[in-house]
Structures are given as structure tokens and as C-alpha cells.
Amino acid sequence: MDDIAEDLEAQGVEVILANHGRWRRLADEAIAAYKKDKNTAPIIIIGHSLGGDAALVMSNWMVHNGVPVRLIVVFDAVAQTHPLRGGIQEVINFYRPRGYGQEVKGSERFNGTIDNIDLTERPGVNHLNMDKDEGLQAEVLAKTLQVLQE
């Protein structure tokens, strides 16, 4: 995640890099900022492993509190989370099943898109290094910049 954060910052993107355990505090801060100024959007959340779990839970909390989430990128989340709520526009989930990763699912009210990308056939990519894969990092950087230019 450090490399992705550095690449985004080099492009002038404001990044908050934090441990997964801080999701609620970060979400509450983003909710307060959005309610003061709608131009806080688009909100993009990226996480790996437990951070991927936190990204999903954080997104659900934010939309529950009236804040839309434009993009979530998850690298091999490890826990079963509740299905995603409506108000989340797009999810990219890089995962390896039969290990830690799993597909992300939306609730009945979810109206965004979810792209579950199974990396089983990608040589050399595993749970521990998935977020460090230069090709995946380039995809995430390009997608993030595209969203920010919309």
C-alpha cells in the first residue's frame, strides 16, 4: 500500500495511509468533511488483507451515513463481510480463492458494479505480495486517476 500511496501522491493526490484498525475514525472524519463540503467527493478507499476488509466495512458505514463511495479497491480481503450497500458505485476486488481471498458481493440494494478478479492464474502473485505487484499497482493508479478526472 505504501507504493500505491507514493505513486498517487506523486500525481498530486491527497492520500491518507492508515492501519485497518482506524477505519471507523477515518470514516467518521470523512463523513463530517463530506457533510460540510460535498466537494470532498469522490471518495476512494483501497485496502489489502485486513485493510481490504476494513475498506468494505468502512464503505458500508459511510453510505449508511449518507456519504457516497465512488471506488473501492480490495486486494485479497480475508474475512466474510456483509454484502455491500447501495451508494457504492464501483468495486475492484483482486483475490485468490482457496486461500485468503474471496469474491465481494452486493446486497439487494447494491446498484454499482463489482469486478471480482481471480488472480489464481497470475504467476508469482500471492496474498502477501499481491498489493506489491507492479502491474496491479499500475491498474489501480490508472483507475484512480481516471475517477479523479471525471
The angle subtended at Cα 25 by Cα 96 and Cα 16, nearest 5°, is 65
Q: What is the arithmetic mean of pLDDT over 3-29?
A: 89
Pairwise CA distance, residues 23 & 33, whole Å: 15
49-71 per-position pLDDT tens digit = 999 999 999 999 999 999 999 99
- 37 φ/ψ sector (left φ>0, alpha ψ -120 to 50, else beta): beta
Q: Categorize the per-residue pLDDT at 12 as very low, low, confident or very high, splitting at 50, 70 and 90.
A: confident
Q: What is the arithmetic mean of pLDDT over 3-7?
A: 86
Dihedral angle sign, alpha carbons of residues 103, 21, 17, 67? positive
Q: What is the arithmetic mean of pLDDT over 17-40?
A: 91
Per-residue cell: 55: 475498506
Please provide the CATH number assigned to the domain covering 2-149: 3.40.50
Query: pTM (2 decimals)?
Result: 0.92
86-129 per-position pLDDT tens digit = 999 999 999 998 778 889 999 999 999 999 999 999 988 989 99
Q: Is the pLDDT of residue 40 over 90?
A: no
124-147 per-position pLDDT tens digit = 898 999 999 999 999 999 999 999
Residues in the chain: 150
Res 14: pLDDT: 85
Q: Where are the domains of the chain?
A: 2-149
Q: Cα 50 from chain centroid?
A: 12
- CA neighbor of 137 nearest in space, from 42, 50, 89, 73: 73
Q: Is the pLDDT of residue 10 over 80?
A: yes
Res 29: pLDDT: 94
